[in-house]
Amino acid sequence: MIRPLNIAGRLVQSVADIVFPRVCAMCGCSLTRGEDMMCLHCRSSLPETRMHRMSPNSMEEKLFGTVPFERAAAYCHYDRGAPYARLIQDAKYRGRPAIMRWLARRYALGLRADGFFDGIDAVMPVPMHFLKKMKRGFNQAEWVARGVAQATGLPVIDNLRAVRGHATQTRRGSYARWENSRELYKTVRPGEIDGLHLLIVDDVVTTGATIIACAECVRQASPTVRLSALTIASARMS
């Protein structure tokens, strides 16, 4: 028997769909019942990396350096100009950060089943300078962290700060990105993270310079910290 509340709920949703039609964030087609954020066709066409099942993988290679990462993974490959890249661009530059949260939650649910989060204590988003955050209205990495937290139950730690503004990393080379990220971050409560296994999260990793800079700052303040990394997208290595 269908309960009256269920009927009422479906009626409200139907009216809402007429007034505010739900469309796929990628192709713009109307979503059907059971679809959320993306239609099934676009969802199945995402270029998933599945790199969490490989070690070493391209993400780990980008982060190889002075700070060891225990594991690293990205949901999708990122190719500028490709249709699915619009998801990232809309979330970041067109005021739709909920896309990041949805993608992160979906990705994290799959990773959780494969044991990726075993032993990880908390999620730490890459910070954004407060002036830039005021201008944009949000920090997309924080929305990625929220999605991971929703899927895993892990706490989100707000312990890292961007102490100065910096120019965008877009279209910069590897060395320029590293130079642009140097001494950009600081931890505000080092004792709070001692001995923890932290997952640093961001929206897109290109050369890895930003995440490495965050990791170096955290390890300098608390040498006992263990680190892993997760992003929504990873630019292909040329």
User: Could you give the CA distance from residue 120 to residue 132 in angstroms, rounded to a whole number?
Assistant: 29
Q: Confidence class of residue 166 from pLDDT cuts 50, 70 and 90?
A: low
Neighbours of 220 (CB within 10 A): 13
**Could you tell me which residues come within 8 angstroms of residue 204 by beta carbon, excluding any fewer than 6 positions away?**
78, 88, 231, 232, 233, 234, 235
* Residues 51/73, Cβ–Cβ less than 8 Å: yes
- 3-state secondary structure at position 83: coil
Task: Please list the alpha-helical segments (H only) found in 153-208.
Answer: 174-181, 190-193
Is residue 67 a contact partner of residue 215, using CB atoms and an 8 Å limit? yes
Lowest mean pLDDT of 3-12, 42-51, 126-135, name the range.
3-12
| Domain residue spans of the chain | 1-45, 47-235
> Shortest CA distance to 99 belongs to which of 109, 110, 89, 113?
89
The per-residue pLDDT of the chain, averaged, comes to 85
DSSP 8-state code for residue 53: G
Structure tokens at 158: 């707000």
| pLDDT of 1 above 80 | no
Structural fold of domain 47-235: Rossmann fold (3.40.50)
> What's the pLDDT at 7?
52
Report the alpha-carbon distance of residue 191 to residue 132 in Å, rounded: 28
Q: What share of the chain is helix, strand, coil (3-state, %, to 5)?
A: 40, 20, 40
Question: Three-state SS for 220?
Answer: helix
For residue 29, the tally of other CB atoms under 10 A from its CB is: 13
Specify whether the CB–CB gap between 155 and 149 falls below 8 A: yes
Helix intervals (H) in 116-208: 130-136, 140-152, 174-181, 190-193
Please compute the mean of the pLDDT values over residues 165-194 and round it to a whole number. Answer: 68
> Stretch 52-80: mean pLDDT, rounded?
91
Give pLDDT tens digits for 18-59. Answer: 445 789 988 889 998 888 899 999 999 999 999 999 888 999
| Residue with the larger pLDDT of the pair 166 and 214 | 214
